[in-house]
Amino acid sequence: MGGYMQTYNPPLTKIDKEETRRYAGLKGAVAFPEQLLDTACAEALLLARPRAVWNIYPYEPATGTIAAPAPLRLAGDRVRGHLTGVGEAAVLAITIGPALEEEVSRLFAAGEYTAGLLLDAAGTAAVEQAADAADAFIADQAARRGLKAKSRFSPGYGDWAITDQPAMVALADGGHISLTVTPSCMLVPRKSVTAVIGLAPAGEKNGRGCAGCPQTDCIARRELSQ
């Protein structure tokens, strides 16, 4: 556990068109030319360079702290609640690189607004797919140790302040994939994500999980029958 930075450049041979449609704000739209979406997805495949990097650290649920050499107390009740019962946390960073967003800017400048908008949406789908692939790998490795990976949680979700972004990038070794953070806590390249994945014991036979959590007034708390 911990200590070894891991990297994975997930291969993307398809961009999820339905997700692209959703990110473009087209959910529910009828009679929108499908070919424009297809083109955006194909362009995104050509431009995306997915790269992921992560480290796994011990996690202290009582204080909501990732126990890295430079510990990080997560700035959000929701994320700390999400990580209840978690003993380890994977901190990961994913980017698809700058080429796609540069092309989006170029398209807008050239008056190709729709193509730009759709490519931007396809880029979001691409970074999420890359994150899913890295996530699946982390979950697979954890499962081999009897750990279950919780769903990915990112700064900006719920009340988790994006001011944690610089620390998240550092903990994930985001510099290794050329990921940086602006003083206003934005990721560069923009089509990037940082996230924490909690690794918790599968099942609750050990009496951890909800029973082991100090947040006794949590609305999501499960009452164990035994």
Which residue ranges make up the site for other proteins (CB under 8 A)? 3-4, 6-13, 24-26, 28-29, 32-33, 36, 38, 42, 45-46, 104-105, 108, 111-114, 116-118, 120, 136-137, 140, 143-147, 161-163, 182-186, 188, 190, 201-203, 205-206
The answer to whether the CB of 52 falls within 8 A of the CB of 5 is no
Q: Which is nearer to other proteins, 159 or 218 (CB)?
A: 159
Q: To the nearest whole angstrom, how small is the minimum distance from the Cβ of residue 217 to other proteins? A: 27
Q: To the nearest whole angstrom, how small is the minimum distance from the Cβ of residue 24 to other proteins? A: 5
Distances (CA, A) of 150 to 91, 110, 199: 12, 43, 6
Which H/E stretch holds residue 52? Answer: strand 51-60
61: left (phi over 0), alpha (psi -120 to 50) or beta: alpha
Q: Which is nearer to other proteins, 133 or 219 (CB)?
A: 133
The C-alpha atoms of residue 16 and residue 111 are separated, in whole angstroms, by: 25
Q: Which is nearer to other proteins, 190 or 221 (CB)?
A: 190
Q: To the nearest whole angstrom, how small is the minimum distance from the Cβ of residue 65 to other proteins? A: 20
The C-alpha atoms of residue 73 and residue 66 are separated, in whole angstroms, by: 6
The answer to whether the CB of 114 falls within 8 A of the CB of 36 is yes
Q: To the nearest whole angstrom, how small is the minimum distance from the Cβ of residue 211 to other proteins? A: 13
Q: Which is nearer to other proteins, 25 or 217 (CB)?
A: 25
